[in-house]
Amino acid sequence: MKARALLLASVLTWVAACSVVRPTAAPSPVPDDALTITVIGTNDVHGAFLGSDNSGGMTLFAGYVNNLRAQRAAQGGAVLLVDAGDMWQGTLESNLTEGASVVAAYNAIGYTAAALGNHEFDFGPVGAATVPESDDDDPQGVIKARALEAQFPMLAANLIDLDTNLPVAWPNVQPSVIVDAAGVKIGIIGVMTENALLTTILANTRGLRVAPIAQTIQVEAERLRQFGASVIIVTAHAGSRCTEFDDPYDLSSCSQQGEIFRVANALEPGTVDVIIGGHAHEGIAHFVNGIAVASAFSRSSAFDRIDLYVDPSSDSLLGSKIHPPQMLCRYLSIKPGVCAIQEHADVPLAPAVYAGLTVIPDLALAETIAPALQMAEELKSAELGVHLEEPFRRSDIPETSVGNLLMDILLESAADADFAIHNSRGGIRADLPAGPLNYGKLYEMFPFDNRRVTIELTGAQLRQVMAKQMTSGRWRAGFSGGKVIATCNDDALDVRIVRASGEDVQDGDAVRIVTADFLTTGGDAIFSDVIPPGGFPVDHDAPLIRDVLETYLLERGGSLSPDMFFDEENRRFVYESRPPIRCDS
């Protein structure tokens, strides 16, 4: 089943959190009588209702929104709230309801529109099945059900129905929308990353393709202008990364080859005024090709804000101001002036102030989400009987202590498997903290309902799979059961697969790989080059990987430390240069 459905009531625990004030760039001079319309953006919330260490959380975010709405209403302006996708996959509070609890929260906060992201497809049909198991199962059933519940449109301009070669036309899912904000017509377009269908369960994207983003935006924006839109906003589940936010015109800290930067630079000047991005879980608050582009990390930790200044006599846009990502925390420590996380708990505190008002968590929203929190609490608190001596952490390389832990458990659970391969980057969503391990922490680390499957490859195919990973900028696969050794032979990469016994895998050997059904159907393109005609067989009754992990930990008990699974001097991947590996002469 998609998540255990224990519906035991528990005491509602809720951490309110709020934000550190950061410096902002001075806006361009605008007339005193200009109308101010503020765009607030969120992205990659992933069902994160609650914060941690007194930071983050939806109820505090709603408090910020309430303050800003009050300020704009007093000034005759307006606030638009948009989301850039990946709204509901990721926490028990959300997954137990297949995202319905997140949609209810978004309704209560008052979102204007939201883009679909790749992980919106993860739940598949409504009900227990995670992928279609019969002709009656709708692979996009959950998306359609959540869209019908939403009091805001869900946008997907570049998600194309293969039967019509047009954008999908599901109830309340559409390419764009025009809304009225203080008398100004605002067009909002939703798009998703061009890799969206590779980074979700492919069985749930049957009959769909993703069109190029920039071309889609260009056409849709022109159409919205023809219908009278004075301002165009794009909410895009596509992103990049910047690390400095003091000067919105300085792009030196930004990854300018990231997808959303490429899109912004490809648009004709004046096509779009604002882009709210996502998918990369990083921050952006910069002008790119004259467009105000913003993204605010992930998991209800921050939000974007862009102020638009409009001429009230002509509805023409006079200018805009980008604020740095606004991090959420409930209090500021008075002397350091930073968010009052645990290490500052012994210093005087001051409530955060935003838009001239003290930020107060939205208690009405807390009541809305309380049933979902109560539903999940009993499951989350269940102890697994294992104590982690130190944190098991992720990193920007595939081989990590937490990734190796997952794959070693997978390999041990499949007696007939030679090796385990899993997407350690992307497939693992959180570190495992030190201390007693409970089910909630395990779930945060691996929230996906992927099933354990075993496939058979030749040794040559396995070398092909690993060579592609190691030479790719999207290297995601981790490995268990031996070593992968890569060396350059002139301009060619030579990859050896060595078993734990020390024997090399030969090209003609039959090798059995335990992995996730998500990967065997083409997810993350790890096995895409070796999928046989008709696909690998998938047993839909196979155990969930998360259940395999839980069973192992409960049976093992005791203490675990990262160095039991990751040895810097004895890595599972052996290579000379920093990945991606290049063998250019």
* Residues 267, 381: Cα–Cα separation, whole Å: 49
The residues pairing with 455 across neighbouring beta strands, listed in sequence order, are: 513
Task: Indicate whether 454 and 347 sit together in one domain.
Answer: no
Domain's final residue, options 324, 344, 372: 372
- Residue 131 pLDDT more than 70? yes
Residue with the larger pLDDT of the pair 538 and 381: 381
pLDDT on residue 345: 57
Predicted TM-score (pTM) above 0.85: yes
H-helix or E-strand containing 554? helix 545-556
Task: Indicate whether 178 and 78 sit together in one domain.
Answer: yes
* Residues 145, 142: Cα–Cα separation, whole Å: 5
* Residues 484, 490: Cα–Cα separation, whole Å: 19
pLDDT on residue 12: 26
Cβ(277)–Cβ(306) under 8 Å? Answer: no
pLDDT on residue 578: 78
pLDDT on residue 472: 86
Residue 585 in any domain: the answer is no
3-state secondary structure 250-267: CCCCECCCCHHHHHHHHC
Q: Is the preceding omega at residue 580 within 30 degrees of 0, hence cis?
A: yes
pLDDT on residue 335: 60
Q: How many domains does the chain have?
A: 2
Task: Indicate whether 272 and 413 sit together in one domain.
Answer: no
Report H helices in 311-399.
Answer: 363-380
Tell me which of 95-104, 290-299, 341-350, 553-562 is least confident.
Answer: 341-350
Q: What is the mean pLDDT of residues 199-212?
A: 94
Task: Indicate whether 393 and 336 sit together in one domain.
Answer: no
Q: Which pLDDT tens digit goes with each residue over 164-185?
A: 999 999 999 999 999 999 999 9
- Residue 11 pLDDT more than 50? no
* Residues 399, 466: Cα–Cα separation, whole Å: 13
| Number of other residues whose CB lies within 10 A of the CB of residue 199 | 23
Residue 28 buriedness (CB in 10 A; 0-12 / 13-18 / 19+): exposed
The residues pairing with 478 across neighbouring beta strands, listed in sequence order, are: 422
CA dihedral 392, 398, 399, 404 (to 10 degrees): 60
Task: Indicate whether 169 and 235 sit together in one domain.
Answer: yes
pLDDT on residue 338: 67
pLDDT on residue 219: 98
* Residues 504, 483: Cα–Cα separation, whole Å: 9
pLDDT on residue 23: 32
Please give the structure tokens belonging to residue 118: 């790749």
Task: Indicate whether 546 and 406 sit together in one domain.
Answer: yes
Phi, psi dihedrals of residue 484, rounded to the nearest 5°:
-120, 115
Residue with the larger pLDDT of the pair 348 and 73: 73
Task: Indicate whether 249 and 318 sit together in one domain.
Answer: yes
Residue 184 in any domain: the answer is yes
Cβ(331)–Cβ(322) under 8 Å? Answer: no
Task: Indicate whether 331 and 420 sit together in one domain.
Answer: no
Q: Which CATH number does the domain housing residue 257 bear?
A: 3.60.21.10
Task: Indicate whether 358 and 387 sit together in one domain.
Answer: no
Q: Which CATH number does the domain housing residue 546 bear?
A: 3.90.780.10
Task: Indicate whether 244 and 100 sit together in one domain.
Answer: yes
Tokens 């409970």: give the residue.
438
Domain's final residue, options 372, 400, 416: 372
Residue 377 in any domain: the answer is no
Q: Which pLDDT tens digit goes with each residue over 515-549?
A: 999 999 899 999 999 999 989 988 888 999 999 99
Please give the structure tokens belonging to residue 323: 């604020």
Q: Which pLDDT tens digit goes with each residue over 384-439?
A: 999 999 999 998 777 999 999 999 999 999 999 999 999 988 899 999 999 999 99
Q: What is the mean pLDDT of residues 501-528?
A: 95
Residue 244 in any domain: the answer is yes
* Residues 263, 318: Cα–Cα separation, whole Å: 23
Q: What is the mean pLDDT of residues 229-248?
A: 97
| 43 contacts: CB under 8 Å, gap ≥ 6 | 83, 84, 85, 86, 237, 239, 276, 277, 278, 279, 295, 296, 298, 304
Domain's final residue, options 372, 394, 425: 372
| 209 contacts: CB under 8 Å, gap ≥ 6 | 160, 162, 197
- Residue 95 pLDDT more than 70? yes
* Domain range for 266: 35-372
Q: What is the mean pLDDT of residues 44-71?
A: 93
Task: Indicate whether 360 and 405 sit together in one domain.
Answer: no
Task: Indicate whether 211 and 291 sit together in one domain.
Answer: yes
Residue 138 in any domain: the answer is yes
CA dihedral 125, 131, 137, 141 (to 10 degrees): 20
Residue 19 in any domain: the answer is no
Which CA distances in Å does 305 have to 39, 141, 155, 276, 560?
6, 33, 20, 9, 43
Residue 186 in any domain: the answer is yes
Residue with the larger pLDDT of the pair 223 and 473: 223
pLDDT on residue 302: 96
Q: Which pLDDT tens digit goes with each residue over 151-163?
A: 999 999 999 999 9
* Residues 319, 292: Cα–Cα separation, whole Å: 10
- Residue 26 pLDDT more than 70? no
Confidence band of 563 (pLDDT split at 50, 70, 90): very high
Cβ(58)–Cβ(49) under 8 Å? Answer: yes
Cβ(515)–Cβ(427) under 8 Å? Answer: no
Residue 353 in any domain: the answer is yes
| 450 contacts: CB under 8 Å, gap ≥ 6 | 201, 427, 516, 517, 518, 544, 545
Tell me which of 26-40, 221-235, 552-566 is least confident.
Answer: 26-40
